[in-house]
Amino acid sequence: MACRRASTSAKSLCAAAKSGQRGSKMAKVAFIGLGVMGYPMAGHLVAAGHQVRVYNRTQSKAQQWVSEHGGELGLTPAEAAGDAELVMLCVGNDDDLRSVVLGPDGALAGMAAGSVLVDHTTASADVARELAAVADKQQVAFLDAPVSGGQAGAENGVLTIMVGGEQAAFDRSAPVMDAYARSAVRLGPVGSGQLCKMVNQICIAGVVQGLAEGLHFAQQAGLDGEAVVDVISKGAAQSWQMENRSHTMLKGEYDFGFAVDWMRKDLDIALSEARRNGSQLPLTALVDQFYAEVQNMGGQRWDTSSLMARLTRSDKA
């Protein structure tokens, strides 16, 4: 069933169809973190028929979600996680994760032995291993499961999920994640999902910079940028970024997805991991500095394709 461009009325059918792909039964699920990704992801769980209780640090956002989707509201992460078979997290960074998982009000305080904690945050592999060790002490399984696909992927239920953790926990969780995923793949033990997401961000950084330079070159050479994209997108230069961002880049529009601030957070995680494992990431380090320049231009919330803005600004300097 093609769900990527499904209408609102069709999304419930899409989610329901996907929830049955791996033979899932309806589950009691908690979802913690209702940002631009978590808000629609939790909604897909309800549409798929799961019983959902949510928590968000800004309570009004959680109340809004409940008014739109039904389900229940937890006043703390622990309350949201109470009696849940699976607890999904989607917050900002390592510190945010610790704040909603650990302590007397954290999710683990409300989770029963045998339940599964699934973290969709893009964070470090270290914090994944740290939280997995704490969860294991109370017989709770942990999966690090960062996602790719951006806000549009979350809204349309077609995210790609990179998972680290035990196979048994993955097998239990994958049918539920199908509500908002096009693909969920287990890559190895805890930490593997986060490491794979680092690879994802490293590759995106290089592709976006190459695309920005190519479009900039086309403009400087006096070519019709749209015509150039139409030609080269049918060959080896084609990419998701070209298909989805080139037209807005040519117009100088950068309000279409993942923010520069978040990309820098992700690249910092990847560069820190590279220093530990001996990887050589010269292009990634360079593009990270280019994003710092975009931030200094006031583009903290522009999307990642705004590397183009840095090049066009230089022309006018």
The catalytic site residues sit at 197
What distances in angstroms separate CA 96 from CA 54, 58, 92, 124, 212, one per listed residue? 16, 13, 6, 12, 33
What is d(CA 261, CA 294) in angstroms, rounded to the nearest whole number?
10
What is d(CA 69, CA 250) in angstroms, rounded to the nearest whole number?
38
Specify whether the CB–CB gap between 54 and 74 falls below 8 A. yes
Q: Is 216 left (phi over 0), alpha (psi -120 to 50) or beta?
A: alpha
Nearest to 91 by CA among 63, 65, 133, 58: 58
What is d(CA 127, CA 93) in angstroms, rounded to the nearest whole number?
9
Length of the chain: 317
Specify whether the CB–CB gap between 177 and 45 falls below 8 A. no
What is d(CA 169, CA 84) in angstroms, rounded to the nearest whole number?
14
Specify whether the CB–CB gap between 4 and 59 falls below 8 A. no
Q: Is 164 left (phi over 0), alpha (psi -120 to 50) or beta?
A: beta
**For the chain, the helix, strand and coil percentages under 3-state DSSP, each to the nearest 5:** 55, 15, 30
